[in-house]
């Protein structure tokens, strides 16, 4: 049971809490009442604000719509005014640009093209919007006049600034690859840079807006003329240079070097001059031949102008390739891409046709030369043909994309030259074989016949043109003629392309054929001489000349390809002729040979018959010696070594025989006048033989 004091205290505590709760409840009620009142007031304010906003919106929206309409109207007015200004400007284009068009584009191309652009737009406007307007005709006429002025300016720029390339610059261009020293690249400036830019701009405008391709014809006609004149100028340069100094020169590139230009000879691409120099070297060593009876025109007497013409043509071919390459580079900048190949084809035709015509003239001249047996002229085909073949890859590259007829011109010329070259080789071999034996034209002293020197000189040309000559022979399928089978492995896909080994064998066989024909002809000619000794000297000289020429010119290596024993065979022939010649002295030495001498006892007086026999032996020897020395003194052995060898051998034989005879009978009293019969001492006999083959002795 709770004590009364605690119950009383607990009740007071509860009453206090209750009182506090009542006060709190009262406060909450008051707050709710105030909150309700504030809410009512806010709702009233918001309602009033909403009402006002609705009134404002109803007032503003019509004003906004009206403003938008006004702005749209203003924009339309501005656009209309702008369009009017634009349209009106087309009506003023003719008057604004007429003066500029009339005065032309010279010196103000940029402004002129700007005016043409305005006229072009005016034409397009009137065509679309007012095709019947008189203004359309006016701007059309003005546009056509402007286009004609641009075409005229294009022609004028090309004509005034296209210059012929100087021969000196061309020579520097084509000889640059052969220089040992590193030099600056030769650059051809066909047009000044500023002019080129104007030409390019006019070209592009005419293609894009002018719808005109006539300027391309103008371009190729002008550039074609310059290309053709440049090549002809180079040819004329060769002629003038050769007539004044004998050799064309190419000075250093102008404006490229500070030092004084020094003249440098153009490298000659292998003409027949080399073999002529070899012939001169041989004559210095006593191997030259004298004029003999030959229906071949002497090679030594060929006109130097052939060399000049050959060199000129070869350099013109190289010049065409270089200049054509340069022309194509220029053309690519000026002419639209899809017209470049056709325009280039037209551009090079005149120069190319000129080269091909000149080449055909060379073939024609060679054909006529063959008929008259002037094989020195035919030799000009060899360096030209070799150069054409060497240049053909560059030619093909330059002509890439041109018409088939253009591409086939060079191969056609090469075929013609190969055909005429093969004809010349065969005819030369036949002429060597069939050269007539004319007694009045034979060398009186038995020296080298002109036929021999001509034949060797001709063959020496083939050393420089082995592949060319071999290809000539192969192109005519001469393998069958020489019994050389054609091996498929030795030919390429081209019918005229053979391996170098096969060509060498063909050429070796041909040279052996010529030498065989020559040997047969010389044997026939030697029979013209009545004296067998002179005939032997003649054959000896010719065989020796052939052998020495083959060795000195390295022809012997080429001959050895198919004839391994050729050198030994010639040496045997030479020795055989020496022996034949030595037999001519038997009629001298037989008089004093021991087998024909009388036998007698020493100290026993000679009988009249024996004395007479000894006298006859001395007289026969003396007369024979004098006669042979007199005759053979006029004979010739040009080769010093061979001459000394033959003299020494003969001197040894005669001196030995005569010495023995003189020793045996010199002191025998066979006559009262010994000086009448013993006319010569042994040394004198040797001296007389030493003067053989020497017309100056």
* Helix segments in 527-639, DSSP class H: 532-552, 555-559, 566-582, 586-592, 608-632
CB atoms within 10 A of CB 667: 10
Query: Per-residue confidence at 264, pLDDT binned at 50, 70, 90?
Result: very low
Burial 125-156 (b: 16+ CB within 10 A, else e): bbeeeeeeeebbebbbebbeebbebbbebbbe
Mean pLDDT, range 558-566, rounded to an integer? 92
Mean pLDDT, range 157-186, rounded to an integer? 76
CB 282 within 8 A of CB 456: no
At which residue do the structure tokens 């010119």 appear?
553
Task: Indicate whether 473 pLDDT > 50.
Answer: yes
- Condensed to tens digits (0 to 9), the pLDDT of residues 412-431 reads 999 999 999 999 999 999 99
- Condensed to tens digits (0 to 9), the pLDDT of residues 66-87 reads 778 777 777 776 576 556 555 6
Phi, psi of 498 (to 5 degrees): -120, 160
Task: Indicate whether 354 pLDDT > 80.
Answer: yes
- Out of 173-187, 273-287, 425-439, 456-470, least confident range: 273-287
pLDDT recorded at residue 301: 40
Between 514 and 49, name the one with better pLDDT. Answer: 514
Mean pLDDT, range 319-331, rounded to an integer? 94
Q: What percent of the chain has pLDDT over 70?
A: 82
Mean pLDDT, range 568-586, rounded to an integer? 95
- Out of 77-81, 348-352, 407-411, 555-559, least confident range: 77-81
CA atoms of 569 and 543, how far apart (whole Å): 10
Mean pLDDT, range 247-270, rounded to an integer? 38
- Out of 289-303, 539-553, 560-574, least confident range: 289-303
Mean pLDDT, range 522-547, rounded to an integer? 95
pLDDT recorded at residue 266: 42
Query: Per-residue confidence at 583, pLDDT binned at 50, 70, 90?
Result: very high
Task: Indicate whether 623 pLDDT > 60.
Answer: yes
CB 353 within 8 A of CB 231: no
CB 241 within 8 A of CB 266: no
Between 221 and 185, name the one with better pLDDT. Answer: 221
pLDDT recorded at residue 257: 34
- Out of 317-331, 466-480, 518-532, least confident range: 466-480
Query: Per-residue confidence at 645, pLDDT binned at 50, 70, 90?
Result: very high
Please, is 160 exposed, middle or buried when counting C-beta atoms within 10 Å of its C-beta (0-12, 13-18, 19+)?
A: exposed
Residue 249: strand pairing partners: 265
Mean pLDDT, range 16-40, rounded to an integer? 89
CB 693 within 8 A of CB 635: yes
Mean pLDDT, range 2-17, rounded to an integer? 85
Between 362 and 95, name the one with better pLDDT. Answer: 362
As a whole number, the mean pLDDT across the chain is: 82
Q: What is the DSSP string of 232-281?
A: HHHHHHHHHHHHHTSS-B-PPPTTT-SSPP---BPPP---THHHHHHHHH
pLDDT recorded at residue 667: 78
Query: Per-residue confidence at 665, pLDDT binned at 50, 70, 90?
Result: confident
CA atoms of 161 and 148, how far apart (whole Å): 20
Q: How far apart are the first and last CA of the chain?
A: 192
pLDDT recorded at residue 8: 87
Query: Per-residue confidence at 477, pLDDT binned at 50, 70, 90?
Result: low
CA atoms of 23 and 31, how far apart (whole Å): 12
The pair of three-digit structure tokens given for residue 530, joined into one six-digit string: 């009545």
Query: Per-residue confidence at 88, pLDDT binned at 50, 70, 90?
Result: low
Task: Indicate whether 652 pLDDT > 50.
Answer: yes
CB 419 within 8 A of CB 359: no
Helix axes 409-434, 466-475, angle to 10 degrees: 90
Mean pLDDT, range 515-538, rounded to an integer? 94
Distances from the Cα of 180 to the Cα of 171, 426, 479, angstroms: 15, 40, 41
Query: Per-residue confidence at 520, pLDDT binned at 50, 70, 90?
Result: very high
Please, is 519 exposed, middle or buried when counting C-beta atoms within 10 Å of its C-beta (0-12, 13-18, 19+)?
A: buried
Phi, psi of 362 (to 5 degrees): -65, -40
pLDDT recorded at residue 208: 86
Task: Indicate whether 360 pLDDT > 90.
Answer: yes
Q: What percent of the chain has pLDDT over 90?
A: 44
């Amino acid at each position: 049971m709770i004590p009364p004091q605690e119950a009383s205290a607990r009740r007071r505590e509860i009453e206090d809490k209750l009182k506090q709760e009542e006060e709190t409840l009262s406060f909450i009620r008051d707050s709710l009442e105030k909150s309700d009142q504030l809410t009512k007031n806010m709702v009233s304010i918001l309602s009033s604000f909403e009402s006002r906003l609705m009134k404002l919106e109803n007032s503003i929206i019509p004003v906004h719509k009206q403003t938008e309409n006004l702005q749209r109207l203003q924009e339309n007015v501005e656009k209309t005014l702008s369009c009017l200004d634009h349209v009106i400007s087309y009506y003023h284009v003719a008057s604004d640009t007429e003066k500029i068009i009339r005065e032309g584009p010279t010196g103000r191309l940029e402004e002129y093209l700007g005016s043409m652009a305005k006229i072009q737009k005016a034409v397009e406007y009137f065509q679309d919007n007012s095709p019947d307007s008189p203004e359309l005709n006016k701007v059309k006429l003005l546009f056509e006049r402007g286009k004609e002025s641009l075409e005229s300016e294009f022609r004028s720029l090309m004509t005034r600034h296209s210059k012929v390339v100087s021969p000196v610059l061309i020579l520097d261009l084509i000889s640059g690859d052969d220089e040992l020293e590193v030099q600056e690249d030769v650059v051809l400036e066909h047009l000044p840079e500023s002019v080129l830019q104007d030409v390019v701009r006019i070209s592009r405008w005419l293609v894009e807006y002018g719808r005109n391709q006539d300027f391309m014809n103008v371009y190729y006609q002008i550039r074609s003329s310059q290309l053709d004149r440049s090549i002809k100028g180079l040819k004329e340069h060769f002629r003038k240079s050769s007539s004044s100094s004998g050799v064309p020169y190419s000075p250093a590139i102008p404006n490229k070097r500070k030092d004084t230009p020094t003249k440098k000879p153009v490298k000659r691409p292998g003409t027949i001059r080399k073999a002529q120099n070899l012939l001169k070297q041989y004559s210095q060593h006593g191997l030259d031949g004298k004029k003999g009876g030959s229906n071949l025109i002497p090679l030594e007497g060929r006109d130097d102008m052939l060399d000049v013409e050959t060199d000129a043509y070869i350099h013109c071919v190289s010049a065409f390739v270089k200049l054509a390459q340069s022309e194509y580079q220029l053309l690519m900048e000026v002419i639209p891409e899809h017209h470049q190949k056709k325009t280039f084809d037209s551009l090079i035709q005149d120069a190319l046709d000129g080269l091909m015509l000149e080449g055909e003239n060379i073939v024609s001249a060679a054909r006529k030369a063959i008929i008259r047996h002037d094989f020195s002229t035919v030799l000009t085909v060899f360096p030209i043909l070799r150069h054409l073949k060497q240049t053909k890859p560059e030619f093909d590259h330059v002509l890439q994309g041109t018409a088939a007829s253009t591409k086939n011109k060079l191969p056609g010329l090469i075929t013609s030259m190969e055909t005429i070259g093969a004809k010349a080789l065969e005819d030369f071999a036949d002429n060597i074989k069939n050269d007539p034996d004319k007694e009045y034209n034979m060398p009186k002293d038995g020296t080298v016949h002109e036929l021999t020197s001509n034949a060797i000189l001709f063959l020496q040309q083939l050393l420089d043109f082995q592949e060319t000559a071999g290809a000539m022979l192969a192109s005519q399928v001469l393998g069958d003629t020489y019994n050389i089978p054609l091996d498929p492995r030795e030919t390429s896909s081209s019918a005229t392309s053979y391996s170098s080994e096969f060509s060498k064998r063909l050429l070796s066989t041909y040279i052996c054929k010529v030498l065989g024909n020559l040997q047969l002809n010389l044997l026939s000619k030697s029979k013209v001489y009545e004296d067998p000794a002179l005939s032997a000297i003649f054959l000896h000289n010719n065989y020796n000349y052939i052998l020495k020429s083959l060795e000195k010119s390295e022809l012997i290596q080429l001959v050895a390809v198919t004839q391994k024993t050729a050198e030994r065979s010639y040496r045997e022939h030479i020795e055989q002729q020496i022996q034949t010649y030595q037999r001519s002295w038997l009629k001298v030495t037989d008089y004093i040979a021991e087998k024909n001498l009388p036998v007698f006892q020493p100290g026993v007086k000679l009988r009249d018959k024996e004395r007479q026999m000894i006298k006859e032996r001395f007289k026969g020897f003396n007369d024979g010696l004098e006669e042979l020395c007199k005759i053979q003194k006029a004979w010739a052995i040009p080769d010093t070594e061979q001459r000394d060898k033959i003299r020494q051998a003969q001197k040894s034989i005669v001196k030995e025989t005569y010495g023995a005879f003189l020793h045996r009978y010199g002191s025998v009293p066979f006559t009262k006048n010994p000086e009448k019969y013993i006319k010569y001492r042994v040394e004198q006999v040797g001296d007389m033989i030493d003067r053989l083959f020497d017309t100056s002795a």
